[in-house]
Structure 1
Amino acid sequence: MKGSTWGYGEENGPSLWHKDYPIAQGSRQSPINIVASDVCFDPSLPPIQLSYDQCTSVNISNNGHSVVVEFDDSDDRSVISGGPLVNPYRLRQFHFHWGEKGCQGSEHTVDGKGFASELHLVHWNAEKYMTFGQAASEPDGLAVLGIFLETGDDHRWLHKITDALYMVKFKGSISDFKGFNPKCLLPSNLHFWTYPGSLTTPPLHESVLWIILEEPIAVSEKQMGKFRMLVFNGEEEDSRSRMENNFRRPQPLKGRKVLASFK
């Protein structure tokens, strides 16, 4: 497995990533299983503040591992603050992880239970670092907001994304996707767990302050089916592999504390 060809198959999947990325066996790897009885309630944790009113999405793409919506992060028009964060972090992109039909596809689990999908809103520490690339390898460089998706009713706003997926079916495809504000994807309750972790995809930098929302949002099986119509491969490639099970399994906690904003 070469570093540029990691993926989720038998020949290049998460169980082999450590060969090219030794940090895969590091001390603050993600995702994790959140064990409710082991979580520490921290009354001093401030609420999460999401200032997304001026959010400007730019494009949607298939990077061969997930579908990604990118944002204009040239200023502080969309930031997350509060919780474990010392200062605001700018929204850079969001993407999803999901499983095959009827199966778990979230990366984090709660008491061993997974969800149909997991949404990751990726933010970076622009007050301390000059670029996203620099922040992505620093211990306090990134803040990722994780939201679980559980199978249920149609999500009234998610269709704006699922209806655009046909434009980015193949790896490397990109399309304009302007004017989408992810505020509409937030659950009503912003209670959260938080812990220090890593990227869940190579290069697996241990640079992420994770904020996982307790309350999931609903997604219909029909909407999830549209994610599974994407493929891992480029349009010109002979083999076509449906994009599903693009998640990493929980990693050892190795002494880390998971804090909660709620009892």
Structure 2
Amino acid sequence: MILLNLFYACQSQDSKVVLIDKLDKSFKVARFYEPKLKKTDELLSSDVKKMDKKAAKKALETAMFAKDTLAFYKSNGRLPSEFYVESTNDWMSRKEKPVKYFGYAYSTVAYDEEKDTLAILNKVAFPSLGMTENNKGEFVYLLATKTSKNKNDVTNILSFLKKNCTRVNIEDQSSEKVSCWEDKNFYYVLSATDEKKEEILSYDQSGNKNSKMVDVTDIRLKIYSKDYVQTMRNEKAYLPDFIPAK
């Protein structure tokens, strides 16, 4: 609790963590990720073999990030829309010619589930965060994920959504528990999947692991700017089925 309060106090100064309840359309995605990308580049260009054990351990435990260019592509009948937006590095789009460029996607490619915090919503800390901006540098959507052992995490997120948003009816055709919500500027899509996960407790001298199975919930929170959704409709580009048809 003390750590979360500290993040709230320092957010305006260092922007190391996204406070989702404070998110608005003016959020500068590139500004948030630039120092993280710089640190990732420095780590990738360093020689871990030349570091002492302490420095090498710290480097290997540091979260890493990536930036991709996004573009519009013709769906050629693969999707129920004329176009779709994808990374220019994606294996399906790599050989295709972009219709036009859309923006940039930033993602967390390595992180520590227990130690890292990139976003917070109603006391729930997310260790992995992806965000996208358009060519104008405007926020378009966010994906925050975590594998949680805390049964209260989903309840706390829903508590925020129920208090601040209006629920939107959607057709859920997946096995996940999915709910969609909206406020003035955004659509929020929350999914939660319960499963069992192996937790490694230790290794013996022979390398055999001591582990147990624990109950966890895979949480995915997506936030879409309504301006982005309208842009996709105007461009006849693909949108996920759970985005309300308006």
TM-score scaled to structure 2, two decimals? Answer: 0.29
Give the number of the structure whose alpha-carbon radius of gyration is greater: 2
Decide which structure has greater strand share.
Answer: 2
Higher relative contact order (CA 8 A, sep 6+): 1
Decide which structure has greater helix share.
Answer: 2
TM-score scaled to structure 1, two decimals? Answer: 0.28
